[in-house]
Amino acid sequence: MLLEPIFWSLFSLGGFITAFLFPVTLFLLFFAAPFHLWPTDPAAYSTFGGHWKEPLVRLFFFVLIGGSLFHGTHRLKFMLMDAGFKGRSAEAFLDVILNGVAIFGSLGALFYAVRGWLF
């Protein structure tokens, strides 16, 4: 209950992050090369690995992954409640599992963002 405003805020922030940044990122990484829509392959190991050395790129992916997880898991919670997961215990269970995915996923992204850069 105490943390609810924080999760709602992260949900809203994640909504902006995913809306503005996800389409172009997914297009470049997953569709540009396979459908021959881009002159290079932005996801190729040498290309992406080269960009990954830059701190701004690492920060970008940390923000993108964290924002998408907090946004999507919050939405999933309410979709599951719509689907019939009702009641205090069900909601508490969803909170623990879904917020856990968002928190640990974001920490994982932070770990990979700073690994090889700061330590």
> Which parts of this chain interact with other proteins (CB under 8 A)?
14-16, 18-31, 33-34, 38-40, 42-45, 47-52, 56-57, 60-61, 64-69, 71-73, 75-76, 78-79, 81-84, 86, 101-102, 105, 108-109, 112-113, 115-116
CB of 1 to other proteins, least distance (A): 11
Q: Is the dihedral of CA 83, 85, 88, 92 positive or negative?
A: negative
CB of 65 to other proteins, least distance (A): 5
Q: How many residues does the chain have?
A: 119
